[in-house]
Protein backbone atom coordinates (compact mmCIF):
# COMPACT_ATOMS: atom_id res chain seq x y z
CA UNK A 1 0.00 0.00 0.00
CA UNK A 2 1.33 3.45 -0.86
CA UNK A 3 2.40 5.58 2.07
CA UNK A 4 -0.37 8.14 1.52
CA UNK A 5 -3.19 5.63 1.17
CA UNK A 6 -5.67 5.19 4.01
CA UNK A 7 -7.36 1.81 4.22
CA UNK A 8 -10.96 1.98 5.45
CA UNK A 9 -12.32 -1.33 6.75
CA UNK A 10 -16.05 -1.96 7.31
CA UNK A 11 -17.33 -2.70 10.80
CA UNK A 12 -19.47 -5.75 11.51
CA UNK A 13 -18.21 -7.69 8.47
CA UNK A 14 -16.45 -10.98 9.18
CA UNK A 15 -14.65 -13.43 6.96
CA UNK A 16 -12.54 -16.55 7.19
CA UNK A 17 -12.58 -19.26 4.55
CA UNK A 18 -15.14 -21.92 5.49
CA UNK A 19 -13.49 -24.59 3.35
CA UNK A 20 -16.77 -25.23 1.53
CA UNK A 21 -15.03 -25.21 -1.86
CA UNK A 22 -17.90 -23.30 -3.47
CA UNK A 23 -15.59 -20.77 -5.12
CA UNK A 24 -13.75 -23.75 -6.66
CA UNK A 25 -16.97 -25.17 -8.14
CA UNK A 26 -18.22 -23.98 -11.52
CA UNK A 27 -17.20 -20.33 -11.04
CA UNK A 28 -14.71 -19.41 -13.81
CA UNK A 29 -11.28 -18.31 -12.59
CA UNK A 30 -9.56 -15.89 -15.00
CA UNK A 31 -5.79 -16.23 -15.29
CA UNK A 32 -2.99 -13.82 -16.12
CA UNK A 33 0.00 -14.95 -18.16
CA UNK A 34 2.09 -14.98 -14.96
CA UNK A 35 -0.51 -17.24 -13.31
CA UNK A 36 -0.28 -19.70 -16.20
CA UNK A 37 3.53 -19.83 -16.15
CA UNK A 38 3.64 -20.27 -12.37
CA UNK A 39 0.99 -22.98 -12.14
CA UNK A 40 2.33 -24.93 -15.11
CA UNK A 41 5.78 -25.03 -13.50
CA UNK A 42 4.56 -26.63 -10.27
CA UNK A 43 4.77 -30.35 -9.57
CA UNK A 44 1.57 -30.82 -7.60
CA UNK A 45 1.11 -34.05 -5.67
CA UNK A 46 -2.24 -35.75 -6.08
CA UNK A 47 -2.87 -34.33 -9.55
CA UNK A 48 -2.73 -36.62 -12.55
CA UNK A 49 0.12 -36.06 -14.98
CA UNK A 50 -1.83 -33.98 -17.45
CA UNK A 51 -1.60 -30.38 -18.70
CA UNK A 52 -3.28 -27.62 -16.75
CA UNK A 53 -6.79 -27.35 -18.16
CA UNK A 54 -7.04 -23.87 -19.68
CA UNK A 55 -9.95 -22.23 -21.46
CA UNK A 56 -9.21 -19.60 -24.11
CA UNK A 57 -11.60 -16.76 -23.25
CA UNK A 58 -10.37 -14.26 -25.84
CA UNK A 59 -11.63 -10.85 -24.74
CA UNK A 60 -14.75 -12.16 -22.97
CA UNK A 61 -13.30 -12.03 -19.45
CA UNK A 62 -12.10 -8.50 -18.76
CA UNK A 63 -11.93 -7.17 -15.21
CA UNK A 64 -11.01 -3.57 -14.51
CA UNK A 65 -8.32 -2.50 -16.95
CA UNK A 66 -6.68 -5.93 -17.14
CA UNK A 67 -7.69 -8.56 -19.70
CA UNK A 68 -7.40 -12.19 -18.57
CA UNK A 69 -6.66 -14.21 -21.69
CA UNK A 70 -7.45 -17.63 -20.20
CA UNK A 71 -9.51 -19.22 -17.46
CA UNK A 72 -8.88 -22.23 -15.28
CA UNK A 73 -10.92 -25.13 -16.59
CA UNK A 74 -12.94 -27.53 -14.46
CA UNK A 75 -13.13 -31.30 -14.22
CA UNK A 76 -16.17 -33.13 -15.53
CA UNK A 77 -17.77 -32.84 -12.08
CA UNK A 78 -17.48 -29.05 -12.25
CA UNK A 79 -14.70 -28.76 -9.67
CA UNK A 80 -11.27 -27.19 -10.03
CA UNK A 81 -8.69 -29.77 -11.07
CA UNK A 82 -6.52 -28.76 -8.10
CA UNK A 83 -9.24 -29.35 -5.51
CA UNK A 84 -8.69 -32.32 -3.18
CA UNK A 85 -11.50 -34.71 -2.12
CA UNK A 86 -11.84 -32.78 1.17
CA UNK A 87 -12.25 -29.47 -0.73
CA UNK A 88 -8.73 -28.23 -0.06
CA UNK A 89 -6.65 -26.38 -2.65
CA UNK A 90 -3.61 -28.54 -3.37
CA UNK A 91 -1.64 -25.54 -4.65
CA UNK A 92 -2.27 -23.65 -1.41
CA UNK A 93 -1.50 -26.64 0.81
CA UNK A 94 1.73 -27.59 -0.98
CA UNK A 95 3.16 -24.24 -2.09
CA UNK A 96 1.40 -21.57 -0.02
CA UNK A 97 -1.28 -18.99 -0.78
CA UNK A 98 0.96 -16.86 -3.01
CA UNK A 99 1.30 -19.70 -5.52
CA UNK A 100 -2.42 -19.72 -6.32
CA UNK A 101 -3.95 -17.82 -9.27
CA UNK A 102 -4.17 -14.11 -8.59
CA UNK A 103 -7.98 -14.05 -8.58
CA UNK A 104 -8.07 -16.92 -6.07
CA UNK A 105 -5.76 -14.93 -3.80
CA UNK A 106 -7.90 -11.81 -4.09
CA UNK A 107 -11.22 -13.56 -3.49
CA UNK A 108 -13.43 -12.48 -1.79
CA UNK A 109 -11.88 -9.04 -1.37
CA UNK A 110 -12.19 -5.95 -3.53
CA UNK A 111 -11.01 -2.37 -3.04
CA UNK A 112 -12.31 1.02 -4.12
CA UNK A 113 -9.94 3.97 -4.42
CA UNK A 114 -11.42 7.38 -3.50
CA UNK A 115 -10.09 10.89 -2.74
CA UNK A 116 -10.00 10.10 1.00
CA UNK A 117 -8.50 6.63 0.89
CA UNK A 118 -9.14 3.04 -0.13
CA UNK A 119 -12.28 1.18 0.96
CA UNK A 120 -12.05 -2.57 1.50
CA UNK A 121 -15.01 -4.79 0.69
CA UNK A 122 -15.87 -8.47 0.40
CA UNK A 123 -17.94 -10.38 -2.13
CA UNK A 124 -21.21 -12.07 -1.21
CA UNK A 125 -20.32 -14.76 -3.74
CA UNK A 126 -18.34 -16.18 -0.79
CA UNK A 127 -20.04 -18.54 1.65
CA UNK A 128 -18.00 -17.11 4.50
CA UNK A 129 -19.19 -13.57 3.70
CA UNK A 130 -22.80 -14.73 3.29
CA UNK A 131 -22.72 -16.34 6.74
CA UNK A 132 -20.57 -13.53 8.20
CA UNK A 133 -18.35 -16.23 9.65
CA UNK A 134 -14.82 -15.91 10.96
CA UNK A 135 -12.83 -12.98 12.28
CA UNK A 136 -13.89 -9.34 11.82
CA UNK A 137 -12.19 -7.69 8.86
CA UNK A 138 -11.19 -4.90 11.26
CA UNK A 139 -8.84 -7.42 12.92
CA UNK A 140 -7.21 -8.41 9.62
CA UNK A 141 -5.66 -5.10 8.57
CA UNK A 142 -2.22 -6.47 7.65
CA UNK A 143 -3.73 -9.22 5.51
CA UNK A 144 -5.96 -6.69 3.77
CA UNK A 145 -2.99 -4.41 3.12
CA UNK A 146 -1.10 -7.35 1.58
CA UNK A 147 -4.13 -8.25 -0.55
CA UNK A 148 -4.58 -4.64 -1.65
CA UNK A 149 -0.99 -4.63 -2.90
CA UNK A 150 -1.89 -7.56 -5.17
CA UNK A 151 -5.04 -5.70 -6.26
CA UNK A 152 -2.92 -2.67 -7.20
CA UNK A 153 -0.58 -4.85 -9.22
CA UNK A 154 -3.42 -6.40 -11.19
CA UNK A 155 -5.41 -3.18 -11.62
CA UNK A 156 -2.62 -0.65 -11.96
CA UNK A 157 -4.64 1.48 -14.40
CA UNK A 158 -7.87 1.40 -12.40
CA UNK A 159 -8.51 4.93 -11.15
CA UNK A 160 -12.18 5.84 -10.53
CA UNK A 161 -13.03 9.47 -11.26
CA UNK A 162 -14.95 10.95 -8.32
CA UNK A 163 -14.94 14.52 -9.62
CA UNK A 164 -18.19 14.26 -11.61
CA UNK A 165 -20.62 12.87 -9.06
CA UNK A 166 -24.27 13.77 -9.50
CA UNK A 167 -26.86 14.20 -6.74
CA UNK A 168 -29.50 13.68 -9.42
CA UNK A 169 -28.89 13.90 -13.13
CA UNK A 170 -27.84 17.50 -13.73
CA UNK A 171 -27.08 18.44 -10.10
CA UNK A 172 -23.39 18.07 -9.15
CA UNK A 173 -22.39 16.49 -5.84
CA UNK A 174 -18.97 17.30 -4.30
CA UNK A 175 -17.31 14.23 -2.83
CA UNK A 176 -17.05 15.88 0.61
CA UNK A 177 -20.82 16.45 0.61
CA UNK A 178 -21.36 12.86 -0.43
CA UNK A 179 -19.36 11.59 2.56
CA UNK A 180 -21.64 13.48 4.93
CA UNK A 181 -24.70 11.89 3.29
CA UNK A 182 -23.06 8.46 3.31
CA UNK A 183 -22.50 8.72 7.06
CA UNK A 184 -26.24 9.14 7.55
CA UNK A 185 -26.98 6.16 5.33
CA UNK A 186 -24.53 3.86 7.09
CA UNK A 187 -25.78 4.96 10.48
CA UNK A 188 -29.37 4.18 9.49
CA UNK A 189 -28.47 0.76 8.08
CA UNK A 190 -26.28 -0.07 11.07
CA UNK A 191 -23.81 -2.91 11.18
CA UNK A 192 -23.29 -4.06 14.76
CA UNK A 193 -24.85 -7.09 16.39
CA UNK A 194 -26.76 -5.05 18.97
CA UNK A 195 -28.64 -3.16 16.26
CA UNK A 196 -29.23 -6.32 14.24
CA UNK A 197 -31.13 -7.99 17.08
CA UNK A 198 -33.49 -5.01 17.39
CA UNK A 199 -34.34 -4.46 13.72
CA UNK A 200 -37.99 -4.34 12.84
CA UNK A 201 -37.76 -2.67 9.42
CA UNK A 202 -36.43 -4.13 6.17
CA UNK A 203 -33.19 -2.96 4.58
CA UNK A 204 -34.87 -1.94 1.30
CA UNK A 205 -37.51 0.14 3.10
CA UNK A 206 -34.88 1.89 5.23
CA UNK A 207 -32.94 2.77 2.07
CA UNK A 208 -36.10 4.17 0.46
CA UNK A 209 -36.89 6.27 3.54
CA UNK A 210 -33.37 7.72 3.56
CA UNK A 211 -33.49 8.42 -0.19
CA UNK A 212 -36.77 10.30 0.16
CA UNK A 213 -35.25 12.48 2.88
CA UNK A 214 -32.13 13.13 0.82
CA UNK A 215 -34.22 13.93 -2.26
CA UNK A 216 -35.63 16.98 -0.45
CA UNK A 217 -32.34 18.65 -1.38
CA UNK A 218 -33.00 18.35 -5.11
CA UNK A 219 -32.77 21.94 -6.37
CA UNK A 220 -34.99 21.60 -9.43
CA UNK A 221 -38.20 19.93 -8.28
CA UNK A 222 -39.33 17.21 -10.68
CA UNK A 223 -41.89 14.44 -10.71
CA UNK A 224 -39.52 11.52 -11.27
CA UNK A 225 -42.44 9.07 -11.43
CA UNK A 226 -43.77 10.60 -14.66
CA UNK A 227 -41.62 10.09 -17.72
CA UNK A 228 -42.06 12.95 -20.24
CA UNK A 229 -43.91 11.80 -23.36
CA UNK A 230 -44.76 8.38 -21.90
CA UNK A 231 -48.38 7.49 -21.22
CA UNK A 232 -47.70 4.04 -19.73
CA UNK A 233 -49.06 3.71 -16.22
CA UNK A 234 -46.41 3.86 -13.45
CA UNK A 235 -47.28 0.38 -12.12
CA UNK A 236 -46.87 -1.08 -15.61
CA UNK A 237 -43.49 0.63 -15.83
CA UNK A 238 -42.61 -0.92 -12.46
CA UNK A 239 -43.53 -4.38 -13.75
CA UNK A 240 -41.52 -3.99 -16.95
CA UNK A 241 -38.50 -2.80 -15.00
CA UNK A 242 -38.75 -5.74 -12.60
CA UNK A 243 -38.85 -8.17 -15.53
CA UNK A 244 -35.81 -6.52 -17.12
CA UNK A 245 -33.88 -6.75 -13.85
CA UNK A 246 -34.96 -10.36 -13.28
CA UNK A 247 -33.65 -11.31 -16.73
CA UNK A 248 -30.35 -9.53 -16.13
CA UNK A 249 -29.65 -10.50 -12.53
CA UNK A 250 -31.25 -13.95 -12.30
CA UNK A 251 -30.64 -15.72 -15.65
CA UNK A 252 -31.35 -19.40 -16.18
CA UNK A 253 -27.67 -20.33 -15.79
CA UNK A 254 -25.68 -17.77 -13.83
CA UNK A 255 -22.49 -19.83 -14.00
CA UNK A 256 -22.44 -20.01 -17.78
CA UNK A 257 -22.87 -16.30 -18.45
CA UNK A 258 -19.86 -14.07 -17.74
CA UNK A 259 -21.52 -10.93 -19.04
CA UNK A 260 -24.45 -8.99 -17.60
CA UNK A 261 -26.40 -6.37 -19.53
CA UNK A 262 -29.99 -5.17 -19.41
CA UNK A 263 -31.98 -5.51 -22.63
CA UNK A 264 -32.63 -1.80 -22.91
CA UNK A 265 -34.05 -1.99 -26.44
CA UNK A 266 -36.71 -4.51 -25.42
CA UNK A 267 -37.54 -2.53 -22.28
CA UNK A 268 -37.92 0.68 -24.29
CA UNK A 269 -40.26 -1.01 -26.80
CA UNK A 270 -42.46 -2.34 -24.02
CA UNK A 271 -42.53 1.01 -22.27
CA UNK A 272 -43.92 2.61 -25.43
CA UNK A 273 -46.32 -0.25 -26.23
CA UNK A 274 -46.73 -2.38 -23.11
CA UNK A 275 -48.31 -5.84 -23.37
CA UNK A 276 -51.95 -6.14 -22.30
CA UNK A 277 -50.99 -8.17 -19.24
CA UNK A 278 -47.54 -7.97 -17.69
CA UNK A 279 -46.29 -11.26 -16.28
CA UNK A 280 -43.22 -12.14 -14.28
CA UNK A 281 -41.26 -14.70 -16.30
CA UNK A 282 -39.48 -17.12 -14.02
CA UNK A 283 -38.21 -20.69 -13.91
CA UNK A 284 -41.61 -22.02 -12.83
CA UNK A 285 -43.41 -20.22 -15.67
CA UNK A 286 -45.33 -16.97 -15.99
CA UNK A 287 -46.78 -15.48 -12.81
CA UNK A 288 -49.17 -12.52 -12.90
CA UNK A 289 -48.37 -9.59 -10.68
CA UNK A 290 -51.92 -9.76 -9.38
CA UNK A 291 -51.20 -13.29 -8.20
CA UNK A 292 -47.90 -12.20 -6.72
CA UNK A 293 -49.59 -9.35 -4.84
CA UNK A 294 -52.07 -11.73 -3.24
CA UNK A 295 -49.28 -13.57 -1.44
CA UNK A 296 -47.44 -11.95 1.47
CA UNK A 297 -43.87 -13.07 2.03
CA UNK A 298 -43.69 -11.40 5.44
CA UNK A 299 -40.48 -11.00 7.39
CA UNK A 300 -37.68 -13.41 6.73
CA UNK A 301 -35.92 -15.08 9.62
CA UNK A 302 -33.50 -12.87 11.56
CA UNK A 303 -30.40 -14.39 9.96
CA UNK A 304 -31.75 -13.74 6.45
CA UNK A 305 -32.87 -10.18 7.21
CA UNK A 306 -29.43 -9.44 8.67
CA UNK A 307 -27.82 -10.75 5.50
CA UNK A 308 -29.79 -8.25 3.40
CA UNK A 309 -28.74 -5.47 5.80
CA UNK A 310 -25.08 -6.46 5.47
CA UNK A 311 -25.41 -6.59 1.70
CA UNK A 312 -26.86 -3.05 1.55
CA UNK A 313 -24.42 -1.74 4.17
CA UNK A 314 -21.35 -3.08 2.39
CA UNK A 315 -22.45 -1.80 -1.02
CA UNK A 316 -22.79 1.69 0.46
CA UNK A 317 -19.56 1.50 2.48
CA UNK A 318 -17.53 0.30 -0.51
CA UNK A 319 -19.24 2.81 -2.87
CA UNK A 320 -20.18 0.11 -5.36
CA UNK A 321 -23.75 1.25 -5.92
CA UNK A 322 -23.50 4.57 -7.78
CA UNK A 323 -21.09 6.90 -9.59
CA UNK A 324 -17.89 5.32 -10.90
CA UNK A 325 -18.51 2.40 -8.54
CA UNK A 326 -21.57 1.34 -10.51
CA UNK A 327 -22.57 2.40 -14.03
CA UNK A 328 -22.14 6.13 -13.34
CA UNK A 329 -25.57 6.51 -11.75
CA UNK A 330 -26.46 9.60 -9.73
CA UNK A 331 -26.73 9.24 -5.95
CA UNK A 332 -30.55 9.16 -5.94
CA UNK A 333 -30.78 6.66 -8.80
CA UNK A 334 -28.01 4.57 -7.23
CA UNK A 335 -29.79 4.37 -3.88
CA UNK A 336 -33.07 3.47 -5.58
CA UNK A 337 -31.25 0.81 -7.62
CA UNK A 338 -29.76 -0.61 -4.42
CA UNK A 339 -33.10 -0.73 -2.60
CA UNK A 340 -34.73 -2.24 -5.70
CA UNK A 341 -32.24 -5.10 -6.03
CA UNK A 342 -32.64 -5.86 -2.31
CA UNK A 343 -36.40 -5.97 -2.97
CA UNK A 344 -35.69 -8.13 -6.02
CA UNK A 345 -34.22 -10.86 -3.80
CA UNK A 346 -37.52 -11.03 -1.95
CA UNK A 347 -39.47 -10.97 -5.22
CA UNK A 348 -37.44 -13.92 -6.52
CA UNK A 349 -38.29 -15.85 -3.36
CA UNK A 350 -41.98 -15.02 -3.80
CA UNK A 351 -41.90 -16.05 -7.46
CA UNK A 352 -40.28 -19.37 -6.57
CA UNK A 353 -42.96 -20.07 -3.99
CA UNK A 354 -45.83 -18.96 -6.22
CA UNK A 355 -44.62 -20.87 -9.28
CA UNK A 356 -43.98 -23.99 -7.18
CA UNK A 357 -47.33 -23.54 -5.41
CA UNK A 358 -45.61 -23.49 -2.02
CA UNK A 359 -47.53 -20.50 -0.69
CA UNK A 360 -46.83 -19.87 2.97
CA UNK A 361 -43.77 -22.12 3.09
CA UNK A 362 -41.00 -20.86 5.34
CA UNK A 363 -38.04 -19.32 3.50
CA UNK A 364 -34.72 -20.73 4.68
CA UNK A 365 -31.56 -18.70 5.14
CA UNK A 366 -29.86 -20.90 2.55
CA UNK A 367 -32.45 -19.91 -0.08
CA UNK A 368 -31.91 -16.22 0.63
CA UNK A 369 -28.12 -16.66 0.65
CA UNK A 370 -28.15 -18.35 -2.77
CA UNK A 371 -30.22 -15.48 -4.22
CA UNK A 372 -27.74 -12.95 -2.83
CA UNK A 373 -24.81 -15.01 -4.15
CA UNK A 374 -26.30 -15.02 -7.67
CA UNK A 375 -27.07 -11.30 -7.51
CA UNK A 376 -23.50 -10.51 -6.41
CA UNK A 377 -22.11 -12.61 -9.25
CA UNK A 378 -24.20 -10.71 -11.80
CA UNK A 379 -23.30 -7.28 -10.40
CA UNK A 380 -19.64 -8.27 -10.60
CA UNK A 381 -19.82 -8.94 -14.36
CA UNK A 382 -22.23 -6.11 -15.24
CA UNK A 383 -21.11 -4.08 -18.25
CA UNK A 384 -23.72 -1.42 -18.93
CA UNK A 385 -23.91 0.60 -22.11
CA UNK A 386 -24.61 4.32 -22.16
CA UNK A 387 -28.20 3.54 -23.18
CA UNK A 388 -28.66 1.23 -20.19
CA UNK A 389 -27.19 3.79 -17.80
CA UNK A 390 -29.54 6.45 -19.18
CA UNK A 391 -32.56 4.14 -18.90
CA UNK A 392 -31.71 3.20 -15.31
CA UNK A 393 -31.15 6.84 -14.44
CA UNK A 394 -34.63 7.77 -15.74
CA UNK A 395 -36.51 4.83 -14.22
CA UNK A 396 -34.70 4.71 -10.88
CA UNK A 397 -34.78 8.41 -10.00
CA UNK A 398 -38.28 7.84 -8.61
CA UNK A 399 -38.33 6.78 -4.97
CA UNK A 400 -42.07 6.23 -5.38
CA UNK A 401 -41.27 3.50 -7.90
CA UNK A 402 -38.75 1.92 -5.53
CA UNK A 403 -41.36 2.08 -2.78
CA UNK A 404 -44.01 0.32 -4.91
CA UNK A 405 -41.51 -2.40 -5.84
CA UNK A 406 -40.67 -2.86 -2.16
CA UNK A 407 -44.41 -3.20 -1.43
CA UNK A 408 -44.63 -5.91 -4.10
CA UNK A 409 -41.75 -7.67 -2.30
CA UNK A 410 -43.64 -7.65 1.02
Residues 338 and 280 in one domain: yes
CA atoms of 341 and 87, how far apart (whole Å)? 32
First to last CA, the chain: 44
Provide the whole-model pTM: 0.90
pLDDT band per the 50, 70, 90 thresholds, residue 374: very high
154, 187, 215 — which closes off a domain?
154
Residues 143 and 211 in one domain: no
**Residue 296 resides in a domain:** yes
Residues 277 and 213 in one domain: yes
pLDDT in tens, 186-229: 999 974 444 444 457 899 999 999 999 999 999 887 778 887 77
- Region 339-363 average pLDDT: 84
**Residue 48 resides in a domain:** yes
Residues 231 and 358 in one domain: yes
**Residue 201 resides in a domain:** yes
CA atoms of 162 and 180, how far apart (whole Å)? 15
pLDDT in tens, 144-186: 999 999 998 888 778 899 999 999 999 999 999 999 999 999 9
CB 185 within 8 A of CB 211: no
CA atoms of 44 and 31, how far apart (whole Å)? 18
Neighbours of 157 (CB within 10 A): 7
**Residue 388 resides in a domain:** yes
Residues 96 and 178 in one domain: no
Residues 229 and 343 in one domain: yes
Give how many domains the chain has, as a whole number: 2
Give a three-class secondary structure readout of the chain. CCCCCCEECCCCCECCCCCCCHHHECCCEEECHHHHHHHHCCCCCCCCCCCCCEEECCCCCEECCEECCEEECECCCCEECCECCCCCEHHHHHHCHHHCCHHHHHCCEEEEEECCEEEEEECCCCHHHHHCCCCEHHHCHHHHHHHHHHHHHHCCCCCCCCCCCEEECCEECCHHHHHHHHHHHHHHHCCCHHHHHHCCCCHHHHHHHHHHHHHHHCCCCCCCCCCCCCCCCHHHHHHHHHHHHHHHHCCCCCCCCCCECCCHHHHHHHHHCCCCCCEEEECCEEEEHHHHHHCCCCCCCHHHHHHHHHHHHHHHHCCCCCECCCCCECHHHHHHHHHHHHHHHHHHHHHHHHHCCCCCCCCCHHHHHHHHHHHHHHHHCECCCHHHHHHHHHHCCCHHHHHHHHHHCC
CA atoms of 230 and 223, how far apart (whole Å)? 13
Q: Containing domain of residue 49, as a range? A: 7-154
Residues 181 and 130 in one domain: no
386 or 194, which is more confident: 386
**Residue 2 resides in a domain:** no
State the pairing for strand pair 66-67/7-8.
Answer: unpaired
Neighbours of 407 (CB within 10 A): 12
Residues 240 and 364 in one domain: yes
**Residue 161 resides in a domain:** no
Residues 81 and 222 in one domain: no
95, 130, 154 — which closes off a domain?
154
CB 363 within 8 A of CB 300: yes
pLDDT band per the 50, 70, 90 thresholds, residue 44: confident
pLDDT in tens, 265-308: 989 998 888 887 777 776 556 667 777 778 888 889 999 999 99
CA atoms of 205 and 202, how far apart (whole Å)? 5
CB 123 within 8 A of CB 107: yes
> What does the pLDDT read at residue 347?
93
132, 154, 176 — which closes off a domain?
154
pLDDT band per the 50, 70, 90 thresholds, residue 361: confident
**Residue 160 resides in a domain:** no
Residues 206 and 353 in one domain: yes
Q: What is the mean pLDDT of the chain?
A: 86
Beta partners for residue 279, in sequence order: 288
Least confident of 22-26, 98-102, 237-241, 309-313: 22-26
Nearest to 332 by CA among 216, 244, 160, 228: 216
Residues 57 and 170 in one domain: no
Residues 127 and 180 in one domain: no
**Residue 159 resides in a domain:** no
Amino acid sequence: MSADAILHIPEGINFDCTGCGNCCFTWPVPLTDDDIKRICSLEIEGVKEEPVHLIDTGSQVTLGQLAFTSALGKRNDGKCQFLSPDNRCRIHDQFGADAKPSMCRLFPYTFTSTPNGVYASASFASTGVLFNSGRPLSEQRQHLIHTYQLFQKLYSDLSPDWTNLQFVDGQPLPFEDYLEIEGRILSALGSNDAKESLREERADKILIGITKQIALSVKEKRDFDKIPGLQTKPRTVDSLLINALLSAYFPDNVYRENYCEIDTASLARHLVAPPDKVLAQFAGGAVSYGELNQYSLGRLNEQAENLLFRFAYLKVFSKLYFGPGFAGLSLIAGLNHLSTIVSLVRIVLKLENVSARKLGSAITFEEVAECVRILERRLTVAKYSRETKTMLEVLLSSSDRAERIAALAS
